[in-house]
Structure 1
Amino acid sequence: MSKLPEIGTKISLTDKAYEIIKDAIMTNIFKPGELLIEEKLAEQLAISRTPLRAALRKLAYDHLVEINSSRNVIVANIGQKDVEEITVVREVLEPLAVKELENNIGEDELKKLEEILCRQKKAVLEDNYEELIKMEYEFHVAIGELTHNKWLHGMLKDINTIVQRYLILSGSLNKYKEVAIKEHEVIISEIRQGNYDKAVESMKCHISNVSSRMLK
């Protein structure tokens, strides 16, 4: 099992452990199917098992690990069926989020989306795949956040965390990065112009295209 940094005496040990282990899973340091041993995790993070177990339960809730009947913690896998099921949910929630922006978004918030797009383009120029995937996640989650609907925002964060992980494992975004960015650009342009019906349809199309590209 790969080595993790020590946490030490931080205030929120559970949250910190959660973030460190989540990052190790998201960046494929901990690989799908890998067994995570509590004793070793606690030792490496320099914390007791109580906050560690709480962190692992949070990761299980996020579908990043699985805890079986023997209390073994295993890094969750993501397969074609998961992508297909997530796409069904995304095709409903993400266009809804775009629609919720109508008459509910200001210039500063539009600029936030455009800044994410600029960072995506910069990541392509610099061949920074890690940043590219991060901005792919930020784009979709930011739209949820800008609806000011905490439930919708929360669901989009959870769903796009799984999508982000699959993109890392599959490497598909690197192959189709220019197309993905162009689709984001169209969505933002239509929102800026107030063409929300077109923006909703463009988001639906984007989600469908992302799914097809991931499964190729």
Structure 2
Amino acid sequence: MAHHFSPIKFDNKGNIRESVFSILRNAILDKKLEPGQRLVERNIAEQLGISRTPVREAIHKLELERLVTHIPRKGVVVTGFTKADIIEILVIRTSLEALICSIAASKIRPRELDRLELLAKQISDEHGKGNLKKSNQLNNKFHEIIYKTAESPRLYDFLNTLHEYITKFTEVAYSKPGRSEEVWLEHNEIIAALRNRDSLGAESAAKRHTENSSKAFLEMAF
């Protein structure tokens, strides 16, 4: 049965194209839209209560991310992604996270370090309570502080394109028994390197953290 989309609420129409893109990509990542399923521009627009233009633009972005493809005489269909695709995304994420932490080490300020320490504690506490969704939200804030501290707009944008992938992968990784304790230690290693303005140390700690997160995700997902 085809997935039915709910209309976009008025207060979410600030950037309609990005909203539609996020809705469609999440539906693919959550497998609500399965490989081989057609995306009919007119139907999606009617369900979301918007014009066809932002749907067309969102589908084009999905093509660039290789999540959908255009097949002659059939139209646009979902391609989804394979384990190899996921591994590629994880490798790219690891490199970008390590780089941005390295840059942030020379620019981070005491108040940002204090905020990271508080978030690391909150992440651990929420994980311990079994609140994985809340823990993941706080984890996003933790990394967002580092991203912004680096003051590298293009690198920030690159990481943002992976945001929804990272969020979903992290949710799965956090479900691995014992991962909470590992994350607590890894976050504190990153904070210590940043506080010492140790670019190489921050790069190494971030790389270790993301590699362990990737490993946990793959173990739980496959």
Normalising by the smaller structure, the TM-score range is: 0.7 to 0.9
Normalising by structure 2, what TM-score? 0.77
State the secondary structure of the residue aligned to 1:120.
helix
Q: Relative to 1, partners in 2 of residues 1:12 and 1:204: Cα closer, same or farther, differing over 3 Å?
A: closer
Structure 1 gap segments, 5+ residues each? none
Aligned pair partner of 1:108 in 100, 107, 111: 111
Distance in 1 separating the partners of 2:187 and 2:20 = 33
Q: Relative to 1, partners in 2 of residues 1:165 and 1:117: Cα closer, same or farther, differing over 3 Å?
A: same
| Post-superposition offset of 1:147 | 0.6
Give per-residue Cα distances to partners, 1:191-212, cap 9 Å, x unaligned.
1233443222211222222222
State the secondary structure of the residue aligned to 2:214.
helix
Q: Name the count of aligned residue pairs.
A: 211
Q: Relative to 1, partners in 2 of residues 1:52 and 1:99: Cα closer, same or farther, differing over 3 Å?
A: same
Q: Relative to 1, partners in 2 of residues 1:12 and 1:202: Cα closer, same or farther, differing over 3 Å?
A: closer
Distance in 1 separating the partners of 2:121 and 2:24 = 29
| Post-superposition offset of 1:4 | 2.5
Normalising by structure 1, what TM-score? 0.79
Distance in 1 separating the partners of 2:215 and 2:128 = 25
Distance in 1 separating the partners of 2:200 and 2:4 = 49
Q: Relative to 1, partners in 2 of residues 1:8 and 1:156: Cα closer, same or farther, differing over 3 Å?
A: closer
1:14 and 1:52 in contact (8 A); partners too? yes
Q: Relative to 1, partners in 2 of residues 1:131 and 1:29: Cα closer, same or farther, differing over 3 Å?
A: farther
Structure 2 gap segments, 5+ residues each? none
Structure-2 residue corresponding to 1:33: 35
Q: Which moved more, 1:14-23 or 1:99-108?
A: 14-23
The answer to whether structure 1 residue 162 and structure 2 residue 158 are counterparts is no
Q: Relative to 1, partners in 2 of residues 1:207 and 1:5: Cα closer, same or farther, differing over 3 Å?
A: same
Aligned pair partner of 1:76 in 65, 72, 80: 80
| Post-superposition offset of 1:146 | 1.6
Amino-acid identity (%): 25
Distance in 1 separating the partners of 2:206 and 2:93 = 10
CA RMSD after TM alignment: 2.8
Distance in 2 separating the partners of 1:122 and 1:11 = 34
